[in-house]
A and B are shown apart, each in its own frame.
Chain A
Amino acid sequence: MPQYYMHLFNDEILRDQSGASFPDEQAAREGAIRAISELIAEHIVAGQPVDLSNRIEVEDDRGDVVETIKFGELFRGTASA
């Protein structure tokens, strides 16, 4: 399975040195979304603000950035009445 590297850009840049294997790009994207949701959840539970401009860049094993996902992209909500 191909390796994808997920670099986290939040209060500091955390580069992924070893990567993780995913069957394809779509699965890697889903992995990145799960990672972001864990980080957001942790902030919410700790009562810390979430910086919606933080992002994860997914890099493939050729060094190309194939996905950029901003934390704010994942928020979709409704509020009735």
Chain B
Amino acid sequence: MTANATSDILKRTFQKFAMRAPLDEEDREAFFALPFEVRAIDPHRYIVREGDRPSGATLIINGLAFRHKVTVEGARQILSVHIPGDFIDLEGTLLEVADHNVQALTACQVAIVPRPAMLKLIDTHARLGRAMWIDTLIDASIYREWIVNVGRRDARSGTCHLLCEFARRLEAVGLGEVDGYELPMTQEQPADALGITPVHVNRILKDLDREGLIVRNKRFVRVPNWEALRKVGGFNEMYLHLDKFARPPIAAGASGAPLSR
């Protein structure tokens, strides 16, 4: 099961990279020859702590993880949320010291590629290096959008924007559809992502629910009217650069299917 999930995610990740740079057979062989260790991580456990020197690059096989920083007053700012197929430590590979924390949101399985192997791959396979560079550029593009969320969008628009982003990103890796997906978060995480209080998030979600923009059922979010939600959030998915994102076929056992659009 784990072996299947791992090889499935590695295949998807390679396909994603192949969308971003012209990769050949040698790149493929080198990528699949990467050594890795699979590790199970309990919900809320730290994957990387600020100040750590990560020993490898971490690829999420399943589950969700998030990056965050904590102020001296103890307030947490969530910087990004990561989904299966995301490499969360490409930075760590080159920057050596982690400048932020990475924590599991749900139970996660990750594959850790040792840093020397990752560095060697980048040094010997320029096109794979380029694909990974694009990966971190897209991360940065998402950070830019989140700065707008935190700094300039009001709480309601920011919340809608976040819901739209998760919908499109999860759909792109075949883990949901824009009209409905699982969001294993309490109001605390969106609050820390948007820089507002959980009570406020709760209030906004209730309003969105009442207005028919979303339908919540435990941890599932259904979006009956994508256009309306997109409009309130001011969501324009260009920043996700999904045209540089593979939409690989769904392996048996994976939940959900990509929405044809």
**Chain A interface (Cβ < 8 Å from any Cβ of B):** 6, 8, 14, 16, 18-21, 23, 27, 31-32, 34-35, 38-39, 42, 45, 56
Q: Apart from A6-B199, A16-B187, what are 10 other A-B pairs with CB-CB below 8 Å?
A: A8-B203, A16-B199, A18-B188, A20-B186, A35-B199, A35-B200, A38-B196, A39-B199, A42-B155, A42-B200
In the complex, which residues of chain A have a beta carbon less than 8 angstroms from the beta carbon of B253?
none
Give the residue name and chain of the B residue nearest to A33 (CB).
Answer: B197
CB distance from B198 to the nearest CB of A (A): 5
Contact flag A35-B197 (CB < 8 Å), given A14-B202, A14-B203, A42-B155:
yes
**Do B198 and A16 touch (CB < 8 A)?**
yes
Least CB separation from B197: chain A residue: A35
Given contact pairs A18-B186, A20-B188, A38-B155, A31 touches B197 in the complex (Cβ within 8 A): yes
Given A20-B188, A39-B203, check contact A6 B196 (CB 8 Å).
no
Q: How far is the CB of B170 from chain A (nearest CB, A)?
A: 21
Shortest Cβ distance from B105 into chain A, in angstroms? 13
**Bound form: Cα–Cα A27–B200 in Å:** 17
Complexed CA–CA distance, A45 and B16 (Å): 44
A27 CB contacts on chain B under 8 angstroms: 74
Bound-state Cα–Cα, A53 to B63, Å:
43
Are A16 and B202 within 8 A (Cβ)? yes
State in angstroms the CA–CA spacing of A79 and B187 once bound together. Answer: 38
Q: How far is the CB of B193 from chain A (nearest CB, A)?
A: 14
B155 and A8 within 8 A (CB):
no
